[in-house]
Amino acid sequence: MRIVGIETSCDECGVAVVEDGRRILSNVVATQIEFHKPYSGVVPEIASRKHVEWIADVYLKALDEAGVAQESLDAVAVVNRPGLVGALVVGVAFAKALAYGLGKPLVAVDHIKAHLYAPLMEFDIPYPFLGLLLSGGHTVIAEVRSYDEFRVLGTTIDDACGEAFDKVAKHYGWGYPGGVVIDRLARKGIPEACAFPDPSLHKGRHRYDVSYSGLKTAAIHQLDQFWNPEYPRTDENLAAAFQKAAIDMILRRLELAVEDTGIRRIVVGGGVAANSYLRNALGARSDWHVFFPSLPLCGDNGAMVAGIAYHYAREGKFAALDLDVHARVEA
Ligand code: KG4
Ligand code: ZN
């Protein structure tokens, strides 16, 4: 079964063609980073407008790279939740027109489920597993029981993990996306230079919840309080200390989730999955079985959408042409 997957929930315009849930024939991602860079964050209206401008070209490129004719597609899949509403609408409207024009069924995909499915396109991973999804918009520890079934164990009570990286980098004028720059700076820094506390340890509604807003505030406004005077106050040292605190915070909750569920298989996803400190820390856990998707499948992309859609399509779970979009997960 050959499916085209469309992803426009944030600032990546992604279209991919995938066969039978795994074989990626093309995976085109047009990133809008340079347009959001001046604002050090994603500007929703710019995101929507760029998707409108680009979506048809990205689609044609995906067909071209896959070397397939659109008539050979068996279904059209699109992310309709969660995400920026104005951005989601572009992908959903395009997908509807395509499905209608080609006379093919439409599949609605949840962005979180698609991220958690991405590593299954590259590895054979039995269910259940714990999903760790860290991006600019999401911070989720979930128990994943099937491609369509997951239980959120923990999340953030304020900022998303990647968002905290972006905001700290913005404050210090380090560049955008913050995660990438902090990761790079941190390689030359000493994490022990600053001992940030974990402000969320006892605050979360749930045992596995985290809070990034407190850490962000500490990294921006409370350095005097937490800095170890034996170390120079350099960007590199601050980046290394912040990165360690941000990642350790979520890893402590993951550790609790492993203890409580007894599940030692971990699947990581989202843009922050590219982080080298996270990769090293999880890579060192020889008692866990950790799966990282390759970088093109870590960030937002159409392949994960077309991939998971195969399973819905096989079960005849299609969407109607009045499909709506939703900003949040629960909607
Ligand atoms: O999944 P993604 O591409 O888009 C969504 O937010 O859905 O994730 C982007 C986020 C940004 O916040 C960016 O700063 C962060 O992922 N990121 C990183 C790294 N690369 C990207 N965070 C930490 N370390 C990285 N190497
Ligand atoms: Zn995402």
Q: Are 259 and 234 in contact (CB under 8 A)?
A: no
pLDDT (0 to 100) of residue 329 = 73
User: Going edge to edge, which strands form the sheet with 23-31?
Assistant: 23-31, 12-19, 2-7, 75-81, 106-110
pLDDT (0 to 100) of residue 203 = 58
pTM given for the model: 0.91
Calculate how far, in angstroms, residue 307's C-alpha sits from the geometric centre of ligand 1.
Answer: 21
Q: What rounded mean pLDDT belongs to the chain?
A: 94
pLDDT (0 to 100) of residue 200 = 65
Binding-site annotation: residue ranges for substrate: 133-137, 166, 179, 183, 275
pLDDT digits (tens, 9 = 90+) for 136-167: 988 999 999 999 999 999 999 999 999 999 99
Cα 4 from Cα 297, distance rounded (Å): 16
Calculate how far, in angstroms, residue 141's C-alpha sits from the geometric centre of ligand 2.
Answer: 14
Cα 31 from Cα 50, distance rounded (Å): 10
Cα 207 from Cα 210, distance rounded (Å): 9
pLDDT of residue 174 exceeding 90, the answer is yes
Closest listed residue to residue 130, CA positions, set 326, 285, 330: 285
Tokens of 309: 């859609």
Average pLDDT over residues 114-129: 95
Report which ligand 1 atom has the smallest distance to the Cα of 269.
1
Tokens of 56: 């048809």
Report which ligand 1 atom has the smallest distance to the Cα of 274.
26
Closest listed residue to residue 83, CA positions, set 34, 119, 44: 44
Calculate how far, in angstroms, residue 15's C-alpha sits from the geometric centre of ligand 2.
Answer: 14
Q: Are 19 and 25 in contact (CB under 8 A)?
A: yes
For atom 6 of ligand 1, which residue has the closest CA? 136
Q: Are 76 and 323 in contact (CB under 8 A)?
A: no
pLDDT digits (tens, 9 = 90+) for 253-298: 999 999 999 999 999 999 999 999 999 999 999 999 999 999 899 9
Binding-site annotation: residue ranges: 111, 115, 133-137, 166, 179, 183, 275, 300
Q: Name the residue ranges covered by the structural domains of the chain.
A: 2-116+298-314, 125-292
* Alpha helix (H) residue ranges in the chain: 33-36, 44-66, 85-102, 111-117, 161-171, 178-186, 213-221, 223-226, 235-261, 276-283, 295-298, 303-314
pLDDT digits (tens, 9 = 90+) for 64-101: 999 999 999 999 999 999 999 999 999 999 999 999 99
For atom 8 of ligand 1, which residue has the closest CA? 271
Q: Are 60 and 300 in contact (CB under 8 A)?
A: no
- Ligand 1 site residues (CB inside 6 A) read 10, 135-137, 162-163, 165-166, 177-180, 183, 270-272, 274-275, 299-300
Report which ligand 1 atom has the smallest distance to the Cα of 115.
1
125-292: what CATH class? Answer: alpha beta
pLDDT digits (tens, 9 = 90+) for 188-229: 999 999 999 886 666 556 788 999 999 999 999 999 999 999
CA pseudo-torsion sign 299, 305, 308, 310: negative
pLDDT (0 to 100) of residue 131 = 97
* Predicted complex ipTM: 0.98
Count how many residues are written for the chain.
331
Task: Indicate the top mutation candidate among 13, 27, 135 to test ligand 1's pocket, ranked by most ligand atoms within 8 A of CB.
Answer: 135
Within the chain, how many helices (H) and strands (E) appear?
12, 10
pLDDT (0 to 100) of residue 252 = 94
Average pLDDT over residues 300-326: 97
Say yes or no: do domains 2-116+298-314 and 125-292 share a fold.
Answer: yes
pLDDT digits (tens, 9 = 90+) for 31-76: 999 999 898 888 999 999 999 999 999 999 999 999 999 999 999 9
Cα 30 from Cα 14, distance rounded (Å): 6
Q: Are 8 and 295 in contact (CB under 8 A)?
A: no
pLDDT of residue 11 exceeding 60, the answer is yes
Average pLDDT over residues 118-125: 95
pLDDT (0 to 100) of residue 328 = 83
pLDDT (0 to 100) of residue 331 = 40
Report which ligand 1 atom has the smallest distance to the Cα of 169.
14
Bridging pattern class, strands 139-146 and 149-155: antiparallel
Average pLDDT over residues 306-319: 98
CATH classification of 2-116+298-314, choosing from 3.40.50.300, 3.30.70.940, 3.30.390.30, 3.30.420.40? 3.30.420.40
